[in-house]
Amino acid sequence: MCAENMRDQIVPKKLAADTDARILEEIGHHSEGIGIDALHTRLADAISRRTLQRRLAQFVAEGKLVTIGKRRGVRYLIAPITGEVSGALAGLTGEITAETYVPLSPEGQEIKDQVRRPRQMRVPVGYNQAFLEAYYPNETAYLPPELRDQLRKLGTPPDGDRPAGTFARDIMHRLLIDLSWASSRLEGNTYSRLDTERLIEFGQVAEGKDVLETQMILNHKAAIELLLNEADLVDFTPYTILSLHALLSDGLLEDSSTCGRIRSRPVEIGGSVYRPIAMPQRLEELFGIIIAMALEIRDPFEQAFFVMVHLPYLQPFEDVNKRVSRLAANIPLIRHNLCPLSFIDVPERAYIDAMLGVYELNRIELLRDVFVWTYERSCQQYLAVRRELVPPDTFRLRYRQALSETVKTIVLQLQSSTRETVGAQIPPSVAEEDHDKFVNLVLDEFENLYEGNAIRFGIRPLEFAAWRDKTKQ
């Protein structure tokens, strides 16, 4: 009887150990993480969902797993292994990981090492107001002058002296897709870029995707359109930031009344030992101070980076804080007609580590490494895209009506398209100094005129046929 009791005690422990190994093994097969629903589907024969939730929480606390995303979008990944190499390579130390990351400064590497420690080894901290108070607009610089100059050279288009938002609107279609996809992906969204393009262009929902993921993409589209369509009005004001939050959080929060409002209850940040402010009155006050400070900053890149640091650190909203900061970072870039920031190809883990460095250490160097890398990446993408765009022919647009009249008159009068003929038909609306260029424009049109495009000038098929037969004799 005693032996049977012992067996009863031992066997469950062995089964638990086997199940734990299966859980970790299955998660290890997914380099970009796996959600609890998909994980439980694969392990349903071995463990209940509730028990699985408990084991996952325990693994995170022990530092065996890390999480990406929030709430229903949370995914689990095996924690990177760090340590010293022994044996034949005893002289080497480093991090054993195959993850994609951004190039790091020595300070960025130091922050990464600190935030990668198991959670129980990191000291719990609250909001540090001195971090904000230490910043003086246009005196303090998170981005050194030489770095800002470098970013300006990268991000200024050849015709940069144009109205606010011109460059961003030139690439609006591409930016809507890239920024909606990339920013959503940093929140654990599993839409591919192609899925995102189909959703934005055709309203086609990707098969098998959670409705919240679809909503997140569409919310980004609406918020980006606000920034582009109102580029001359949007600025660092409470109204703009609250509007961005309202658009980005629409349909994603449990309490819809919190969209576009400063939160009134405490929040926690998964995977972090940082605890944001809980008092609503203090949140309101600090939110106003941060926005006012951002507005004072003269350099657009410093402005952009400042809001990427301090808006998420304050956590003024119940959720969607980082998304608001990423889109708000584009406000000064759009207003100064600089290349926008799309966050394309930013490794999720690098961004998470960078934010943890701000939350837990009040250090910005790792986030700065991410910011600089992603801005350079965005410039490479969008300056190339813009070079592919055909610039509008302003001369042709100015004399569009005169061009149509001249071409149609010559065709209806069955005249040959010679320089003399065109010169005799120039309408009075064409300025005298533009006559030569206008004649060349008309002759170019006749070079490409055929029955398929003659309708552009109001010429009917029989009229074109009569002119062609007459002039080719």
> What own/partner pairs with CB < 8 Å and gap ≥ 24 does 275-283 have?
275/124, 275/125, 275/126, 275/127, 276/126, 276/127, 276/314, 276/315, 277/126, 277/127, 277/314, 277/315, 283/314, 283/316
What distance in Å separates the CA atoms of residue 43 and residue 22, rounded to the nearest whole number? 8
- pLDDT at residue 41 in the model: 80
**Any idea what DSSP says for residue 64?**
S
Q: Is the pLDDT of residue 392 over 60?
A: no
* Span of 69-73, 92-96, 196-200, 295-299 with lowest mean pLDDT: 92-96
CA pair distance 250, 244, nearest whole angstrom? 10
Residue 149 structure tokens: 């100059």
Checking if the pLDDT of 129 tops 90, the result is yes
% of the chain with per-residue pLDDT over 70:
86
| pLDDT reading at 288 higher than 90 | yes
pLDDT tens by residue, 349-363: 999 999 999 999 999
With 0-12 / 13-18 / 19 or more C-beta atoms within 10 angstroms meaning exposed / middle / buried, residue 155 is buried
User: Which CATH number is associated with domain 106-388?
Assistant: 1.10.3290.10
Q: Reply yes or no on whether the pLDDT at 235 is more than 80.
A: yes
What per-residue confidence (pLDDT) applies to 71? 67
Structure tokens at 18: 């086997």
Q: What per-residue confidence (pLDDT) applies to 75? A: 82
pLDDT, the chain, mean: 85
What pLDDT shows up at residue 270? 86
pLDDT value at 228 more than 80: yes
The pLDDT of residue 58: 84
Residues listed for the chain: 473
What share of the chain in percent tops pLDDT 90?
56
pLDDT attached to residue 78 = 82
d(CA 148, CA 152): 6
For the cut 90, the answer to whether the pLDDT of residue 66 exceeds it is: no
Structural contact between residues 348 and 100, judged by C-beta atoms closer than 8 angstroms: no
Give the CATH number of domain 2-81; options: 1.10.10.10, 1.10.357.20, 1.10.357.10, 1.10.730.10: 1.10.10.10
For residue range 293-350, what is the model confidence (pLDDT) as tens digits?
Answer: 999 999 999 999 999 999 999 999 999 999 999 999 999 999 988 889 999 889 999 9
pLDDT-based confidence at residue 169 (cuts at 50, 70, 90)? low
Cα dist from 80 to 26, 262, 353, 448, whole Å: 16, 36, 12, 63
- Give the pLDDT score at 83: 40
Mean pLDDT along residues 89-114: 72
- CA pair distance 433, 332, nearest whole angstrom: 41
Instruction: Flag whether pLDDT at 81 surpasses 60.
Output: no
pLDDT of 96 over the 80 cut: no
pLDDT of 59 over the 90 cut: no
Q: Looking at the predicted structure, is the pLDDT value of residue 53 above 90?
A: no
Report the pLDDT value the prediction gives residue 454, as an integer from 0 to 100. Answer: 84
How confident is the model over 185-195, as a mean pLDDT?
Answer: 93
pLDDT digits (tens, 9 = 90+) for 200-210: 988 999 998 98
Residue 380 pLDDT level (bands cut at 50, 70, 90): confident
Residue 392, judged by CB atoms within 10 A of its CB (0-12, 13-18, 19+), counts as: exposed
Residue 94 is predicted with a pLDDT of 40
Instruction: State pLDDT tens for residues 130-166.
Output: 999 999 999 999 999 999 999 999 888 765 555 555 6
Q: Kindly tell me if the per-residue pLDDT of 279 is higher than 90.
A: yes
Judged against a pLDDT cut of 50, whether residue 236 lies above it is answered with yes
Longest dimension (CA), the chain: 118
Three-state helix/strand/coil letters over 425-466: CCCCCCCHHHHHHHHHHHHHHHHCCCCCCHHHHCCCHHHHHH
Residue 172 clears pLDDT 80, i.e. is over it: no
d(CA 401, CA 404): 5
Domain boundaries defined on the chain: 2-81, 106-388, 394-471
CA gap 252, 347 in Å, rounded: 24
Q: What are the tokens at 89?
A: 């390579």
**pLDDT confidence of residue 9:** 37
3-state SS assignment for residue 244: helix
Cα torsion 80, 81, 85, 87 to 10°: value is: -130
The three-state secondary structure class of 364 is coil
Q: Which pLDDT belongs to residue 472?
A: 78
Highest-scoring range by mean pLDDT, 49-58, 181-190, 264-273, 288-297: 288-297
pLDDT digits (tens, 9 = 90+) for 6-43: 333 333 333 455 778 788 878 877 766 788 888 888 88
pLDDT at 381: 78
